[in-house]
Structure 1
Amino acid sequence: MAGILLSVACMIAGYLIEYLVAPIGPMVVEYLLGPIASAITCIYYYKSNCQGLRREIEKLMLVSERVKHMVDEAERNGEEIESDVQKWLKSVREIIEESNRFFEVEANAQRRIFCGLFPNFNSHYQLSKKAVEMVKIVDELQEDGRFDRVSYSVTPRWKGFAPVEGYKAFDSRMSTSRKIMAAFRNESITTIGVYGMGGVGKTTLLKELGRLALENKLFDDVVMATVTQNPELKKIQGEIADKLGLRFDEESVAGRAVGIPYGNAHKGCKILLASRSLDVLSTEMDAQKTFAVGVLTDQEAWDLFKKMAGDSVEDPDLQSTAVEIAKECAGLPVAIVTVARALRNKNSFEWKNASRQLKRPNSRNIRGMQAVIYSTLELSYHQLESEELKSTFLLCGLMNYNASIQDLLKYGMGLGLLQDVYTTEEARDRVYTLVRNLKASCLLVDGTSTDGFGMHDVVRDVAMSIASRENHVFVVRDDVELVEWPDEDTLNKCTAISLQYCDIRELPDRLRCPKLKFFYMGCEDPSLKIPENFFKGLNALKSLTHCKSAFSCLPSSLCFLGSLRTLCLINVCWEM
């Protein structure tokens, strides 16, 4: 009954609007009619109120889109979104959903009633009133959406210190771990060192210690950075800053003002170092406490080998051979993991062949434990399933410690290593697949960035040794002085030259390497000049990279490089 009365009242109001409001205006009607003025006004402004709501919703959607862009950028930078921003976005979604339902109802309200004779004034009144209420909410959201910033930086405490994949807490490591954790808690100790031969598991242990330190809340932040023999301060600062969620406004080393807290002025801070040499830690780095990391026991080595190789090693026909191979790895985790992964799911004759190879190291210049490492890693290399994968592995060995997949893509395309690819997208997909396969074989590891990869220094040594022997590659790196170039016979055979961060005194007037395909030179000496005819005669050269060189102009002999596919000039200084 009440609904009928309201409909009749709205019909009367509608006629009043048509015959009274239009001639004399809504303000006069509101004064004259009092109690029903509000309803009359709502019905009178029905269309304009609905149109106004639509306009304000569109404005709000534009504001929301701008805020979402800011949020997306913040999330890409690893920042946390402010709670009021999240609440605002939720409110925006809710009001937009409500407006969609409103306009669906409003479309149905256009139908007339009483055999099509009269508009549905009841619906018009309700919708007009609702539109006014929603516009107020929308206006407030527009005003509240003027955020100066939507996020805040947080320390990604987990980064680099998630549980180490495949890590096993061996008894031989637990004692060392407990002692180092005790040193963390000792306020008088600020510098701690861990030493052991390459491939023994120092880096893995440090990562696990970092995770445990955070888990036990010994420190607010834990950061890990790689320092090579020729350290790049900007790169180290960048690694530290990324893991602390910092951004630089200046590019200079001094302007970045990021370093390692040390000494009495930074009580509570600790430095944990890893090196192959005890003397480096004790004498050069002043480590107050040092701990040795040795090889695994026979049982620990076998347990790790079984875990990596799979259940097939328990097969009676295979077990004795598997035990022999595990022993040949000499308790070195890097050797155990790579060999076991390489032989996983292989046939028995492949296991027996591998056992024979490991017992006959083929490097004439390597003895003792290094010969064991070399032979085990070389076996993993020969187990790679394709020449394309082997060539990619050797190329990775010539690159930086924390290399970029994009650089590998450029070099790989330039050298023509990628088979049956016809577009850049296909080549990129292939390179990512190759890197993933090498990581699965434990010959590569994750890099410091999502687009990077790394290589254990022991694995790199083996890769360069294989490349030097099989492909006549000449490598000088890490601040070593290039006193003289190889003899003519060596250069005639050379297919790749990598001179990374070495001290180059002088370049020959002309580089005579008729088979050279890959040439990388990184030198920070601005006085080093490249002779005009240096590249003349390098007809086979396909990939050329200059890093941190100084040029007034490019040497004219570049025009003779008819086979060149990739030219990379990185951090080059152009002299005017």
Structure 2
Amino acid sequence: MAAILMSAAANVAGKVAGYLVDPIVRQLGYLFNYRSNLDELVEQVERLGNARERLQHDVDEANRQGDDIENDVRDWLTRTEEIIQRARELIQDENAENTSCLCFNLKLGYQRSRQAKELSEDIGELQEENNFTRVSYRPPLQGIWSPRLRDCEPLVSRASILNRIMEALRNDDIRMIGVWGMGGVGKTTLANQVAKNAEEDKLFEKVVMALNISQIPNVTKIQEDIAGILGLKFEQEGELERAHRLRRSLNKHKTVLVILDDIWGELLLEKIGIPCGDAQRGCKVLLTSRSQGLLSRSMGTQINFHVQHLCEEEAWSLFKKTAGDSVEQLKSIAIKVLRECDGLPVAIVTVAKALKGESGEAVWNNALLELENSAPANIEDVDDKVYKCLQLSYDHLKSEEVKRLFLLCGMLGYGDISMDQLLKCGMGLDLFEHVSSLEQITNKLVTLVKILKDSSLLLDVENKHFFEWPGVFFGYNYENRFVRMHDVVGDVARAIAAEGPHRFVVIKEALGLEELQRKEEFRNCSRISLNCKNLHELPQRLVCPRLEFFVLNSDAESLGIPDPFFEGTELLKVLDLSNVCLTRLPSSLGFLSNLRTLRVYRCTFEDIAVIGELKKLQVLSFESCKIKRLPKEFMQLTDLRALDLWDCSDLEVIPQNVISSVSRLEHLCLVKSFTKWGAEGFGSGESNNACLSELNNLSYLKTLCIEITDPNLLSADLVFEKLTRYVISVDPEADCVVDYHNRSARTLKLWRVNKPCLVDCFSKLFKTVEDLTLFKLDYELDTKGFLQLKYLSIIRCPGIQYIVDSIHSAFPILETLFISGLQNMDAVCCGPIPEGSFGKLRSLTVKYCMRLKSFISLPREQGRDRWVNRQMGSLDLTRDFIFTGTDVPTPFFNEQVC
């Protein structure tokens, strides 16, 4: 019994001792482990800083894409920033003290060691939380209506129809509404106004629309347009899977309005993914069409609204607004011209713009005569008056160049028209006069397109998500990526093109293609656009000996081009194959000795050697094609001026001397494509790839989009100084040199490029670069030449102590500055900031710059006293700073802010 009591007492005593001793040992441990706790904290801060920086890169990219950041990501970044700041303050305090004196201040040493231990544990917990599956999401589009509506009010007659449509939308018993009227009467404008009012009045949880469905409905495009507004992103699903996902997304809203504009035939809403019938009473559908019968009989609309011609008073108001008040001086003749427009808005606007600025009565009388005597074409659902008005606008175009471009747009224009495609086809057809270089041709095309837009014969593309590559020529100018032709204007353009000397043929239905070939007008045509979704078989030969231009666009999975297909088309200059399921090019392609432009989009090839026989080829484009190697036969393309291999991600082999042999090349694009450049001095066997030095043989090269994943391949003799457009990435960690939201056509991204290569290869480009990213450079950068730089990012470059010197003005038009991880940077400028520097700066981000002390701002205007931006504060308390504004004094830093 005594032994038991003694044992129990010993256990109690041991526990009591533990309770008393363990805390003492732990507290003493803070003193004994002072240095190790501080060193551990330094390592933890470094690791957390790197993790935060990696995540911040994803956040910055998402912001550039216009996406919204997830709340938990924002919260993590905020907490991380706070704890890193606290840790750095502790480390700085420790560094500021004489460590050897801490032995005389045990209390201070204990406090700092304990804080370091606790901060390290908190950092560890934050690191464990850094496992986000995604950082952002794409918000649905806001304000889906045309921005043109924001600055104009609907006409009185249209306002009455609009009010009645809005009443029908409020009626729970009406779910299918139709709007009909002839082409050019203003149905699309009215549909946009309905969407605008429905959103502003909050009649529905969601309003979605697909505009300009046109004569050849593309279900995939309709689904993508609606999905973009919903914030739904498709991957590689088929049509049925997309419809299922779209239906589920729409059904999540109690009330939704779907607007489908300009339908030409029956659409199966279920096939698209639009809920209809009793299954979803909260979904209402508004359709516009030229045919009342289609709406009421085929689509089952419950109520239809007829959009008619404008009355004379409204027509005159629109005409005068478009042509200018000066028409009042010619009102009598102008009224007669206006009456020929028959109250149709599209006709009124085009005629008014054609005659705008013409003050001579003779010009107006001649225009009236042309309108009265013009022979209308027989175009289904296009009024004779509209045809005459658009014909007049076409006749009043100032040059044959712009007329030919207008007709070319009609050949290509069912929906959006790529400017890149226009240029490639226009080059092959010798459309552009008195210009020689591709750079001049690009500028000429932009000028001609502007003339057509000013005449209302072409339109801007609005509210568009651009998923396709915009092209090597226009890839970074949002205003010059795509254009649109009104469907009525397109009909008239094709009617004009089919007449007289043009002999252009546009085929929308593949039925009877063999029979069509037997007709003389088809056999003698010079241009054919075969834009058929139901095309499953081609004739053995295309018997069109005068053919110069051939476009084939079909999504049939089994379509092939017979080998003899092109044997009778030796004069062909432009061949455009889009969405054609091909595995091999037909052997008869070699007969096309006059071919100048070959554009192939989304095809798969095993052998393309036959292209080497096309000696006159100037433009070769294989966008989004599956090609594993370029053949040696490409060395024969000595007249080639543009080579576009965008998104040829399977391309692994470009034999040596192929690139250097096409010495006339002016534009080369290898984005999302070939990256396996060969090293210098390693044999010349077939298995060896082209070297970067071959680019030096391209003395005409002006545009270059390229990825270099190995900085060691750069050599001193590689010179890019003649480039006028370029997106060049030297980055082994990058997936792609460009994204769809690149900010400039002159972009450099340089990762660990050694100084000799930086000077020899890229220093000449520093005079023209607009978007520059420098990553992990170990030396100071001479920045006095960056006169055109707008966007600058400098990341983890320990060799940079100052960004500018005090002698040369720098960055006069810089708009965005991002600096991160410049641990040896004392100040932005070594001395006073030179006059003329940073005058346009509007966005500033600073992170992890340990030695940087303060911010100041330069004067807003010359002569104004210096104004200190106190929002920036002192960097004694913060090491990171983000500031973006549109009307702020230029912020910068080289003095302490009080």
Q: TM-score, normalised by structure 1?
A: 0.78
Q: Considering Cα pairs closer than 8 Å and 6+ residues apart, tell me whether 1 or 2 has the greater RCO.
A: 1
**Which of the numbers 225, 235, 242 marks the counterpart of 2:221?**
235
Q: Is the contact between residue 69 and residue 135 of structure 2 (CA under 8 Å) also seen in structure 1? A: yes
Give the deviation of 1:160 after TM superposition: 3.9
Distance 2:558 2:146 in 1: 43
Counterpart AA for 2:498: S
Q: Could you report, residue by residue, the CA deviation over 1:89-115 in whole angstroms, capped at 9, with x for unpaired residues?
A: 3455566677788888887x48x89xx
User: In the alignment, is residue 180 of structure 1 matched against residue 165 of structure 2?
Assistant: yes
1:24 corresponds in structure 2 to none
Distance 1:353 1:68 in 2: 66
1:363 corresponds in structure 2 to 375
Q: Is the contact between residue 517 and residue 543 of structure 2 (CA under 8 Å) also seen in structure 1? A: no
User: In the alignment, is residue 544 of structure 1 matched against residue 575 of structure 2?
Assistant: yes
**Which of the numbers 196, 199, 216 marks the counterpart of 1:211?**
196
1:554 corresponds in structure 2 to 585
Q: Is the contact between residue 536 and residue 560 of structure 1 (CA under 8 Å) also seen in structure 2? A: yes
What SS does the aligned partner of 2:208 have? coil
What SS does the aligned partner of 1:338 have? helix
Equivalent residue runs for 1:193-208 within 5 Å: 193-208=178-193
2:391 corresponds in structure 1 to 378
Distance 1:121 1:454 in 2: 80
Q: Could you report, residue by residue, the CA deviation over 1:397-432 in whole angstroms, capped at 9, with x for unpaired residues?
A: 112422342433433344343563635x77666656
Counterpart AA for 1:408: L
Distance 1:364 1:412 in 2: 28
C-alpha spacing 1:421/1:89, structure 2 compared with 1 (3 Å): farther
1:170 corresponds in structure 2 to 155
Give the deviation of 1:188 after TM superposition: 1.5
Distance 1:528 1:369 in 2: 33
Distance 1:497 1:90 in 2: 60
**Which of the numbers 353, 378, 385 marks the counterpart of 1:341?**
353
Residue range with higher mean Cα deviation, 174-183 or 304-313: 304-313
C-alpha spacing 1:429/1:55, structure 2 compared with 1 (3 Å): farther
1:6 corresponds in structure 2 to none
Q: Bigger radius of gyration, 1 or 2?
A: 1
Counterpart AA for 2:170: R
Counterpart AA for 1:453: V
2:484 corresponds in structure 1 to 454
C-alpha spacing 1:166/1:513, structure 2 compared with 1 (3 Å): farther
**Which of the numbers 542, 553, 556 marks the counterpart of 1:522?**
553
What SS does the aligned partner of 1:327 have? helix
Distance 2:545 2:557 in 1: 25
Supply the RMSD in Å over aligned alpha carbons.
Answer: 4.2
C-alpha spacing 1:68/1:466, structure 2 compared with 1 (3 Å): farther
User: In the alignment, is residue 412 of structure 1 matched against residue 403 of structure 2?
Assistant: no
C-alpha spacing 1:249/1:533, structure 2 compared with 1 (3 Å): closer
Residue range with higher mean Cα deviation, 196-205 or 393-402: 393-402
Q: Which has the higher helix share?
A: 1
C-alpha spacing 1:241/1:428, structure 2 compared with 1 (3 Å): farther
2:310 corresponds in structure 1 to 296
Give the deviation of 1:80 after TM superposition: 2.5
User: In the alignment, is residue 475 of structure 1 matched against residue 487 of structure 2?
Assistant: no
What SS does the aligned partner of 1:270 have? strand
C-alpha spacing 1:331/1:358, structure 2 compared with 1 (3 Å): farther
Give the deviation of 1:556 after TM superposition: 1.4
Counterpart AA for 1:302: W
What SS does the aligned partner of 1:532 have? coil
Distance 1:121 1:572 in 2: 78
2:493 corresponds in structure 1 to 463
C-alpha spacing 1:62/1:437, structure 2 compared with 1 (3 Å): farther
Equivalent residue runs for 1:141-290 within 5 Å: 141-160=126-145, 164=149, 167-225=152-210, 226-256=212-242, 257=244, 258=246, 259-290=273-304
Q: Is the contact between residue 405 and residue 426 of structure 2 (CA under 8 Å) also seen in structure 1? A: yes
Give the deviation of 1:289 after TM superposition: 0.5
Distance 1:323 1:127 in 2: 89
Distance 2:417 2:136 in 1: 29
Residue range with higher mean Cα deviation, 556-565 or 302-311: 302-311
Distance 2:583 2:285 in 1: 44
Q: Could you report, residue by residue, the CA deviation over 1:432-477 in whole angstroms, capped at 9, with x for unpaired residues?
A: 6655554443222326444543221110011112222352212221
What SS does the aligned partner of 1:290 have? strand
Residue range with higher mean Cα deviation, 54-63 or 426-435: 426-435
Counterpart AA for 1:379: L
Structure 1: which 5+ residue stretches go unaligned?
1-29
Distance 1:276 1:559 in 2: 45
Distance 2:400 2:286 in 1: 40
Residue range with higher mean Cα deviation, 545-554 or 241-250: 545-554
C-alpha spacing 1:182/1:553, structure 2 compared with 1 (3 Å): same
Q: Is the contact between residue 505 and residue 529 of structure 2 (CA under 8 Å) also seen in structure 1? A: yes
Give the deviation of 1:528 after TM superposition: 6.4
C-alpha spacing 1:79/1:552, structure 2 compared with 1 (3 Å): closer
Counterpart AA for 2:421: D
Give the deviation of 1:203 after TM superposition: 0.9
C-alpha spacing 1:487/1:478, structure 2 compared with 1 (3 Å): closer
Distance 1:502 1:354 in 2: 43
Give the deviation of 1:154 after TM superposition: 3.8
C-alpha spacing 1:361/1:415, structure 2 compared with 1 (3 Å): same
Give the deviation of 1:78 after TM superposition: 5.2
C-alpha spacing 1:344/1:77, structure 2 compared with 1 (3 Å): same
C-alpha spacing 1:402/1:51, structure 2 compared with 1 (3 Å): farther
1:395 corresponds in structure 2 to 408
User: In the alignment, is residue 58 of structure 1 matched against residue 46 of structure 2?
Assistant: yes
Q: TM-score, normalised by structure 2?
A: 0.52
Counterpart AA for 1:279: G
May I ask how many residue pairs the two structures share in their alignment? 533
1:327 corresponds in structure 2 to 339
**Which of the numbers 409, 422, 431 marks the counterpart of 2:437?**
422
1:507 corresponds in structure 2 to 539
1:71 corresponds in structure 2 to 59
Q: Is the contact between residue 230 and residue 478 of structure 1 (CA under 8 Å) also seen in structure 2? A: no
Amino-acid identity (%):
40
Structure 2: which 5+ residue stretches go unaligned?
1-22, 247-272, 467-480, 608-898
Counterpart AA for 2:526: T
Q: Is the contact between residue 30 and residue 113 of structure 2 (CA under 8 Å) also seen in structure 1? A: no
Distance 1:242 1:132 in 2: 49
